[in-house]
Structures are given as structure tokens and as C-alpha cells.
Structure 1
Amino acid sequence: MNPLLKLADLGQSYWLDNLTRRMIENGELKDRVAKEGLRGITSNPSIFSKAISKSEDYTAQIRKAAAAGGTVETIYEELTATDIRNACDILRPVFDQSGGSDGFVSLEVSPHLARDTATSITEGRRLWKTVDRPNLLIKIPGTKEGVPAIEQLLFEGINVNVTLLFSIDSYQAVAEAHMRALERRVAAGQPLAAVVSVASFFLSRIDVLIDGLLKERVATHPEAKDLLGRAGIANAKLAYRQFKKNIGSARWQALAAKGAQVQRMLWASTSTKNPDYSDVMYVDALIGPHTVNTLPEETIAAFADHGTAANTVEQGMEEAAATMEAIAKLGIDFAKATRQLEDEGIQKFIDPYDSLLEALKQRCANL
């Protein structure tokens, strides 16, 4: 049996970390949902930049929008909103069959707003209304400035995918915001069951950075070599331990009794960057209840071919803690590293977003 089809029985949904108009129109996406157990989709400016700039599938809509006097920003939004809306419709059966707990498609606010609370809230509201689908997730970075935006949008009943989480402290701030939002809804007499959120914890980017720091120390600390490729998974497992603590608390249980849905842990950045490591390492090691793994197509294919579907996310917790302690003993400031990764993550979305807008501007001029 395809291991992808076993994940749901273990409490994990796998989502596709890609979206193009071609896969929507040629039936590929529908087939993945119907035959391969796909239960969601994530998008970001980098994904849309590749999809739009390298395809003629968007030309007719670009021409029409440009002729109507649209700006490059409004044209970009028309293109992405169309794809997101159509993807939501394809995933709607999963949403309905799961009782509104799965079958989501994510759309990110402008990456330039990662440090702007007020405008993130405004844009989150606007995109929610523009797409107008109950199985939409608005992506907001889990930055210090993003946390109050996340809380406000959830309070208003807008589903949120919290992105760019690298540290357990950042995750906990987001988890607290989620609970505060639901508590505010209770106080306001609003229902909880339809409010959905996931907390996206990034993996491979952590190993790329920490491995570089470890390699600098191997000459004087040979034991550093044994820690290579272990930080991302260890950090994720400890984040899951914190998640379990949160949902086991009396505070969360009171919300769950009123119908609140768990803010699931989502594993992101799951393609292995180092060819010496297993191409399914970020899937095999982190399977378990209340989790989502968002995978690029090559990782989906690899896991379908040789992945192992088993409940693993809570295995090796002591080893995970020991790994992080050993990294700290080598003088690596993990908190500093995660702050760097957050800044780099924001920039990695800004660059393709700006590049795509420039490309759209040129295409409009040519048309």
C-alpha cells in the first residue's frame, strides 16, 4: 500500500507545497486528491513566481486585466486569487468530509508586511473576502509583529496558517495567541468550531544553517560531526512536545469542550537540501496525531516510493533534547540562529515577490 495513504490513519495530513494553474486545469490536482490522499495545498510568493513567470497559462488573464487598467499588484492578486479559489473548490470535498478540519489551501499576505501588524490585519481581511472560501487559510508570519495580527484575524473567524516558525519560543507565542483569540470569541458569544489554524514549523533551513556552524567546529570538536543533520528534526520534536503540553492543559481543554479545533503542527521546508541525507528524513521522523506535512512534489514521490508510515513524532524525545544541549555546549546560539532564519525567510519571500511584479510589469508592457 502506498505509504502516503497510511498517513491519515496515523493522524497526519500531507499537503502539496506547490500550486500552478496547469495542475488545476489538466486534472492533476483533482487526481491527487481523489487517488493519492492529498488533503491540502500551500502557496507562497516563491511558488507563484515560478508558476506565473514560467508559464503562458496566465497570459489571457494578464492581458484582460492589463487592458482594464489594473496595476501589477492588482493583476498579481487576480491571478493568485483565481488559482487559490479554484484549488479550494477542488479540495472542498476533503473539507466537507473532514467536518471542516482539513482540505485547506493557503494564501500569503504580501511578504513586505511581515513586520507590519495593522496592514497584515487589513490585508488578511481583504484576501479572506476576495477568495471567499471557507477552506482558505491566510498565511501570516509568526514574527513578533505578526502575532497580534494572527490573534485578531482568528478572533474574527478568519483561518490562519502561521508561517516562518523556527523556534519553540516563537511557536509558543503563536499558540498563546490562538488560545487568546478563541477565549475572546467565547467572551463575545461567538462559536469556535469553524476557526482553523496551523502552526508551520520549518525544518531543512535549520539544518543548512546549523550544519554550517557545526562544520566550523569539527576540527577542534570532532563530536560536532555526529550532530550534523539532526537539529531540524530534534527542534521539531521538542516543539511537538510543547504542543502536547498545550493541548493537555486545563486552559485548552476548556476551549475544546466548547468545540475548538486544535492548532495543528505543520512541518514545512521538508525537502532535503543535503544529498548525503535521506530524501524522506523530514517525513519519516515526524508522523503523528494532529500534524500536517507540506511536501514538494519530489518529496511526495520519494515518500510514496520508499517512505515508512509509522507513528514517529514522539519517538526519541530524550535524544532530541540531548542533541539540542550538545549543540549549545559547542557554543552555537540556537536562538540567534533562529532569528537569522526568520529574517532570511522573510527576504526569501520578498525577493521572488518583487521579481514577479517586475516580470508582470514587463509582460503587461509587451502585451
Structure 2
Amino acid sequence: MTNPLQQLGEAGQAVWLDFIDRELLETGGLRTLIAEDGLKGVTSNPSIFEKAIGEGSHYDDRIRALLAQGRTEAAEVYEALAIADIRDAADQLRPVYDAANGADGFVSLEVSPYLALDAEGTVTEARRLWSAVGRPNLLVKVPGTEAGYRAIRTLVGEGININVTLLFALKAYLAVAEAHTAGLEAFKAAGGDVGKVAGVASFFVSRIDTQIDKKIDQRVAAGDRDADQLRALRGKVAIANAKLAYQEYLKLIETPRWKALAAAGARPQRLLWASTGTKDPAYSDVLYVETLIGPDTVNTMPPKTMDAFRDHGRVAKTLTQDVREAEGVLAEAERLGLDLGGVTRDLVTDGVKLFSDAADKLLVAVRSKLAQRRAG
């Protein structure tokens, strides 16, 4: 019998792991997830690397070797460690990539979060990382900012695989989809093989509910006259938002413009559900997996959520269910003044800052490790 994670694959949704570290790669943990759970990808970000490198001793030997090579700058050492991990993960996922004929089996590496508002800097960094990793199943992560849109169009136009991160709003998703499509058209016009270009649009989920629910709770506690209607929206806005994003995706792949690219072998830019760990203990620990299951999508889960879904997740094609209800949820949220648009704009700003702060901590952790190794 297949377990619930494998059943997600049978339903058309790829399971990716939102985690990477040296121990997972060296002890066979990643290969086990691929073999036993049907894992098809891995994502990383500065927060993940900060924990991986800063905690424990799994990177100590590599840091010592880099020091012996004369590499003493924290940023240089971090990048060497990260690229080694990403290459190893890509190599372990390569059989998945080959079996899927390039449709899955990816590992993601993020451009520096310090470049989130710098289109030219993002393009330069993405090109460099793409070349340094040197694996066809790499996805370079670019934030869904105004600068990011411009960078995405350029990079896809050069045949570079892109994972667009920090998407919260439908408007932002549509802008990203346009940038990806325009990039593919440019690549095709230049004689490139669009069938070899992959992309995902990472749409964040639970962070939206965290902020919306906070607003709801504050208003209910203050005795708002709409308290009952507000309570009824707790834990529903993020899922409704994601379901409507998928409806936009379904419309896009039916347009003549997309069909012309598909005829040339192009693959759709899949929606990827990110931030799927449940933050509120009042909700199911698999809420943001069970409610967003549908074909040609990805769910990238932290290890705890993956373990929970393997244990007691239920699989049904829920993503296209209750679409009218989802429209009603967003309409009600607007009527009640919950300002989803403002929340999603703030979440992009906050997300960029969180990743920048994590990068700061990461460099501090690497400097600490370098100091320890020198002393040792």
C-alpha cells in the first residue's frame, strides 16, 4: 500500500522537502525520502542554511578544509558550503529528474536576499549561481518583488530555471506568470529549447492566515459588532486565496499564447504551495496540505509537516472544490475590512526582511565556526 505522501504524487501533486543539511545528504536520509515517500524536490533558504550550518558539527570538516585552502571570508565559505549541499542534493534527485524527463526532481538555491530590490544585481547573481552549481535540475530562487519580475523575465529568457518566492497576492502571481511566459517567448525566439526550462511560482499560505487571524482576534476581543462573521473567517482566507490563484493558473494554460509555447514543448510554471506548516495549534497540522491538493502543483513541506501527513494525511483533489465558497470568503474578508491586499504587501516586505535577517545570522554563525576552527 502507498502512504499518503505517495498518494499525493498519484493525485498529480509533487512532494518537496523544505529543508536541507549535510546530515540529510550524508546519512542517506534524502535517498530514503525519495525511495519511500516519492519525494521529488528540495527547497532551501537563508533560514534553513543558518540552522544547518550554525548548529551541530556536520560542517566542521568542510570548514576546516576551506580554511586550509585560504578561504577566510564568511560569505565565501557559506557559499562554498551551500553550493556543495545543493550539488549533492541535485545529484541525489537526478534519477527523479531523468525519470520525469526534466519535469521534476529539482533543488532550489536562493539569490542573496540583500538583492531583493535590485533587478540587475539579481540577474548577475542568478547567472553566477546557475553556472557555479552546474546542474540542470537546479532552480534559482528569485523573490516576487517588482525588481524580481524584471529579473525573472531576463533569466527565463536565457534558459535558466527559476523558482519565484515570496508570492502572497493574486496580482503578484499574475505578474510573475507574465514574466515567465515572456521569458519563454524570448528564449524560443532566440532558438532556445523551451522544453528544457522549468519554473515554479511559490505561493505562501500559512503566513497569510497568521496575519489575518491576528486582525480578527483583535477585533473580536475589542467587541466588534461583526464578531461572529469575523470568527467564521479564521483559517480560511489563505486557502481561499490559493484556490483562486490555481483558477488563474488554469485560465492561463488555456490561452492561445500559452498553447503556442506548449506546442513547442514548454512546461507550465507550476504553482508551489509554500509556508505549509501550521502555525496555529487550533488547526490541523496538515491543514495546508489536505486543502490544496491538485494536478500540476507542488507542496513543499517542512519535515514536521511531512511526517504528520505521512502519518495521518488524507488525499483528495481538494484544490478545485468549493471555488465559489473561496470567492465568497475573499469577498467577505473585503466587506469586513480585513485588507488582504495590505496584508500581502506587508508580507512581501516582511519576508524580504526575514530572509535578510537570516542571512545576517548565517554570516555570524559562519564567522563563529571559522573562529572555532582557527582556535582548534
Give the TM interval when normalised to the shorter protein. over 0.9
Local SS of the residue matching 2:16: strand
In the TM superposition, what is the alpha-carbon distance from 1:325 to its structure 2 partner? Answer: 0.7
* Residue equivalent to 1:35: 36
Local SS of the residue matching 1:241: helix
* Residue equivalent to 1:283: 289
Among 98, 106, 121, the alignment partner of 1:104 is 106
In the TM superposition, what is the alpha-carbon distance from 1:323 to its structure 2 partner? Answer: 0.5
* Residue equivalent to 1:66: 67
Among 151, 169, 174, the alignment partner of 2:171 is 169
Query: Which structure 2 residue ranges, 5 or more long, are not aligned?
Result: none
In the TM superposition, what is the alpha-carbon distance from 1:232 to its structure 2 partner? Answer: 0.8
Query: One-letter code of the match for 2:218?
Result: E
In the TM superposition, what is the alpha-carbon distance from 1:350 to its structure 2 partner? Answer: 1.0
- 1:71-86, aligned counterparts within 5 Å? 71-86=73-88
Local SS of the residue matching 2:183: helix
Of stretches 27-36 and 269-278 in structure 1, the one that deviates more from structure 2 is 27-36
Q: Aligned partners of 1:306 and 1:16: how far apart in 2?
A: 18
* Residue equivalent to 2:369: 363
Instruction: Tell me the C-alpha RMSD between the 2 structures.
Output: 0.9
Among 302, 316, 321, the alignment partner of 2:327 is 321
In the TM superposition, what is the alpha-carbon distance from 1:301 to its structure 2 partner? Answer: 1.1
In the TM superposition, what is the alpha-carbon distance from 1:92 to its structure 2 partner? Answer: 0.3
Local SS of the residue matching 1:294: strand
- Whether the 8 Å CA contact 2:50–2:365 is kept in 1: the answer is no
After superposition, give the CA deviation of every residue in 1:193-240 in whole Å (9 maximum; x if it has no partner): 000000000000000000011122222212100100111101000100
Among 182, 185, 188, the alignment partner of 1:183 is 185
Local SS of the residue matching 2:232: helix
* Residue equivalent to 2:195: 193
Query: Which structure 1 residue ranges, 5 or more long, are not aligned?
Result: none
Among 299, 315, 321, the alignment partner of 1:309 is 315
Number of residue pairs matched? 367
Q: Aligned partners of 1:26 and 1:64: how far apart in 2?
A: 20
- Whether the 8 Å CA contact 2:54–2:369 is kept in 1: the answer is no
Local SS of the residue matching 2:280: coil
Local SS of the residue matching 1:227: coil
Of stretches 230-239 and 217-226 in structure 1, the one that deviates more from structure 2 is 217-226
In the TM superposition, what is the alpha-carbon distance from 1:154 to its structure 2 partner? Answer: 0.8
Local SS of the residue matching 1:7: helix
After superposition, give the CA deviation of every residue in 1:309-329 in whole Å (9 maximum; x if it has no partner): 111101011111110111111
Among 354, 357, 376, the alignment partner of 1:351 is 357
* Residue equivalent to 1:299: 305
* Residue equivalent to 2:116: 114
Q: Aligned partners of 2:219 and 2:334: how far apart in 1?
A: 12
Local SS of the residue matching 1:145: helix
* Residue equivalent to 1:210: 212
Fraction of identical pairs, as percent:
50
Local SS of the residue matching 1:216: helix
Q: Aligned partners of 1:150 and 1:287: how far apart in 2?
A: 27
Q: Aligned partners of 1:189 and 1:282: how far apart in 2?
A: 40
- Whether the 8 Å CA contact 2:180–2:269 is kept in 1: the answer is yes
After superposition, give the CA deviation of every residue in 1:273-310 in whole Å (9 maximum; x if it has no partner): 00000111100111111100000111111111111111
Residue 238 of structure 2 is aligned to residue 237 of structure 1: no
Among 87, 90, 93, the alignment partner of 1:91 is 93
Query: One-letter code of the match for 2:182?
Result: R
Query: One-letter code of the match for 2:14?
Result: S
Q: Aligned partners of 2:368 and 2:112: how far apart in 1?
A: 20
Local SS of the residue matching 1:288: coil
After superposition, give the CA deviation of every residue in 1:141-180 in whole Å (9 maximum; x if it has no partner): 0111101111111111110000000000000000000110
Structure 2 length normalisation: TM-score?
0.96
Residue 31 of structure 2 is aligned to residue 10 of structure 1: no
Q: Aligned partners of 1:213 and 1:84: how far apart in 2?
A: 39
Q: Aligned partners of 2:9 and 2:36: how far apart in 1?
A: 14
In the TM superposition, what is the alpha-carbon distance from 1:365 to its structure 2 partner? Answer: 2.3
Among 129, 132, 154, the alignment partner of 1:130 is 132
Query: One-letter code of the match for 2:300?
Result: T
Q: Aligned partners of 1:171 and 1:80: how far apart in 2?
A: 28
Give structure 1 regions of 4+ aligned residues with deviation exceeding 3 angstroms: none
Query: One-letter code of the match for 1:72?
Result: A
Structure 1 length normalisation: TM-score?
0.98
After superposition, give the CA deviation of every residue in 1:6-27 in whole Å (9 maximum; x if it has no partner): 1122110010000010011011
Of stretches 260-269 and 349-358 in structure 1, the one that deviates more from structure 2 is 349-358
Q: Aligned partners of 2:187 and 2:332: how far apart in 1?
A: 43
In the TM superposition, what is the alpha-carbon distance from 1:69 to its structure 2 partner? Answer: 2.9
- 1:260-271, aligned counterparts within 5 Å? 260-271=266-277
* Residue equivalent to 2:348: 342
After superposition, give the CA deviation of every residue in 1:19-64 in whole Å (9 maximum; x if it has no partner): 0100110111111111111100000000000000002111111122
Local SS of the residue matching 1:292: strand
In the TM superposition, what is the alpha-carbon distance from 1:363 to its structure 2 partner? Answer: 2.1
Q: Aligned partners of 1:272 and 1:183: how far apart in 2?
A: 38
